[in-house]
Amino acid sequence: MKEYNMDNKEISVLGLGYIGLPTSIVLAKAGHLVKGYDPNKEVVKSLNDGKIHIVENNLQEEFKKVVDSGKFKAYSEVQPADVYIMCVPTPFKENHEEKLADLSYVESAAHTVATVVKKGDLVILESTVPPLTTKLVADIIEKDTGMSRDDFYVAHCPERVLPGRILYELEHNDRIIGSEKEEAGLMAKSLYESFVKEGTCYVTDDVTAEMCKLVENTFRDINIAYANELSIICNELGIDAFKLIELANKHPRVNILTPGVGVGGHCIAVDPWFLVEKFGDKAKLINTARHINDFKPLWVSNQVEEDVNHDKNTKIGVLGLAYKPNIDDLRESPSIILAEDLIKKGYNVYGCEPNTNKDKINDIEVKSLDYVLDNCDYLVITLANDEFVEEKAKKRILAKKHYNCIGMK
């Protein structure tokens, strides 16, 4: 089997967001020359001025190192390179009742790569996508360039990181790499092994790699749905769901997850819908789990409304607006869905999210923790942000009338 040496390559990373920027950093640390591309000129300027635009542990410090080393620069035009890594979003299509994957960003990135790609180059799709999308990328490049499919290489390597630990997990987690052609998979494997310190890089076909990321997040979604449904049932019985789960987990073969306000983020709340879209009635359990988790913030809204006796003069504070603690990622956040539902019902709602500098998120006024504690009559605890669980703040929070979505003690 032929071996490929992918050390010290010029790499163009398309998309400098929550995945693209950390990926650029670990690549640059590994000795590659990284040319980051983002269509947002403010992002490009901020990065070239030395300041990151997202909240993530240790990212600013590591970013400074690679900028100082001369191994990273951001551009508002895609630059020629040896390798192109596409880290673009795959949201839902707007104005559709069904949850359908919007592949326009992936398609646009493929067209962009086609303007600069040359024979022998490697194109990697990192975005989480429905099956057969990697083939679509290859089709676009082949058509746009007029090159034979044998003249360039395309692979899929979905990210699998946890916000708050992204840099660590990029360098330590196993990676799944898929491609139509064995050569592309082996080239990508060599590239990822240049920065994956302890994990193993596994090579398979492109469709299996696409499905692997989807089923990983779907597995988690289904397990969370079970916990969330249990919390609804426990409410009917008048018992503490968190205590029940703690006791049930004493069984050596039971590990029920902790319920919450719902499921958010650009992975678990999104990826299962790609399977429902593709396979319809064959994905019945997946579909049901998605509906349970999507319903949970609305169910919490109803519980809060009952708890305040439908008094529309009640000032309600929602503690936590990101989709998980201690990050600034607001995508698909169930806390935002909850707050907006209460606003639609006519309540005065203030949000508190220490990890954003926004004054307003959609229709939600964002205030400091002190403001919310001083001015709100009722609290909804949706996240265990460090600022909320600090002992002095926690005492003030739990002393107020509240709805505890996370079992804070």
What positions carry a catalytic annotation? 213, 267
Partners of 319 in the beta sheet?
A: 352, 381
Partners of 12 in the beta sheet?
A: 35, 84
Sheet hosting strand 401-404, strand order edge to edge: 360-361, 364-366, 348-352, 315-319, 378-381, 401-404
CA distances from 280 to 44, 99, 103 (A): 40, 12, 19
Q: In this structure, how many other beta carbons lie within 10 angstroms of the beta carbon of residue 266?
A: 20
> Distance (Å, rounded) from C-alpha 290 to C-alpha 58?
33
- β-pairing, 175-179 vs 153-156, is antiparallel
User: In sequence order, what are the residues at sequence separation of 6 or more whose Cβ sits closer than 8 angstroms to the Cβ of residue 264?
Assistant: 322, 323, 324, 331, 332, 333, 334, 335
CA distances from 372 to 105, 113, 301, 381 (A): 38, 47, 18, 12
Which 3-state string (H, E, C) describes 218-286? HHHHHHHHHHHHHHHHHHHHCCCHHHHHHHHCCCCCCCCCCCCCCCCCCCCCCHHHHHHHHHHHHHHHH
> Distance (Å, rounded) from C-alpha 122 to C-alpha 117?
9
> Distance (Å, rounded) from C-alpha 330 to C-alpha 351?
12
> Distance (Å, rounded) from C-alpha 94 to C-alpha 408?
36
Strands (E) located in 94-253: 122-125, 153-156, 175-179, 201-204
Question: Hey, what are 24's tokens?
Answer: 């650029």
> Distance (Å, rounded) from C-alpha 209 to C-alpha 128?
10
- The dihedrals phi and psi of 84, each to the nearest 5 degrees, come to -120, 125
> Distance (Å, rounded) from C-alpha 112 to C-alpha 129?
18
Partners of 404 in the beta sheet?
A: 381
